Amino acid sequence: MELAYFLVISVVAVLAAVAVIASRNTVHSALYMVVNLFCVAMLYLSLSAEFLAVVQITVYAGAIMVLFLFVITMLNPDNEESRSRIRNRLPFAVGFALALLVAVSLAMQPQLLRVAQPAQLQAAGAGNVEAIGGLLFTRYLLPFELVAVLLLVGMVAAIVLGKRRV
Amino acid sequence: MIAPLSYYLILSAVLFTIGVLGVLVRKNPLIMFMSIELMLNGGNVAFVALAHSFGNVDGQVIAFFVMAIAAAEVVVGLAIISSIFRLRVSIDVDEVSTLKG
């Protein structure tokens, strides 16, 4: 049952990812990207990462992809790319990607990663928001604060770059 | 019975590879950005799957950081793309070569 769930969701995710890079229309790409993000969120649910699934949908599919759609509709990039949307080094790119796929798949064998037998999350019953929040404010406090600063820097940079005259 | 860990890792590798292929093949910077998001997502799948196998939530915290950094990166990248477009000529990445060394 779980296996069938995983297989269906992951096939949809991979097809949507291929559609993102293959579709002619940029808006369609963005919508396929949303499909892919939703599928990944479903996989997070099956890995008992409920908090991340919700964050994935609100932040990624909600905020980031809406930002993408705004910029796409503002720039309307399709009319000029259509003549040659693909670079002329397709065979090299496909070969490189396949080699990379094989290398990454071989490097990520669970035996090599020394993973123990799959254990259930301790916090599975209590919901993992509590566990993540606890870690964020103890062990990962410094990275957490740095991410806050990074987001502020990103916001200032976007405002400066978006101004008509600097 | 949950799907084996190796399936999740292979899915993550496939998503990452599709992202790499998109960056290499497409000319449209917006689609290249989405391909980068695909790569980050592939990495996140591996983080979360391994966090589940190890039975702790550290991997999920890292995936959370990845999402926050992806948000910051997209904001700056889209601002750069739209300001190039305003200056402009074309948003074909091969033609934006002013900074080429």
Encoded amino acid at A3, one letter = L
Tokens of B14: 């496939």
Asked if A33 and B55 come within 8 Å (Cβ–Cβ), the reply is: no
Pick from B53, B81, B83: CB nearest A118: B53
pLDDT by residue (tens digit) across A27-55? 999 999 999 999 999 999 988 888 999 99
Confidence band, pLDDT 50/70/90 cuts, at residue A83:
low
ipTM metric: 0.89
Q: Which residues contact A43 (CB under 8 A, 6 or more apart)?
A: A6, A9, A10, A13, B8, B11, B45, B48
State the pLDDT at residue B39: 94
pLDDT by residue (tens digit) across B61-73? 999 999 999 999 9
Tokens of A23: 């579709």
For residue B51, give the nearest of A137, A161, A120, A60 by alpha carbon. A120
Residue in chain B lying closest to A149 (CA):
B72
Asked if A10 and B9 come within 8 Å (Cβ–Cβ), the reply is: no
Low-confidence ranges of chain B (pLDDT < 70): 1, 88-91, 97-101
Average pLDDT of chain A?
83
* A132 pLDDT higher than 60: yes
Residues in chain B with CB shorter than 8 Å from the CB of A142 are none
Distance from CA of A142 to the nearest CA of B (A): 12
Q: In whole angstroms, give the CA distance from residue B61 to residue A142.
A: 13
Contacts A–B by Cβ distance under 8 A: 257
Predicted TM-score (pTM) of the model is 0.87
Distance from CA of residue A74 to its chain's centroid? 23
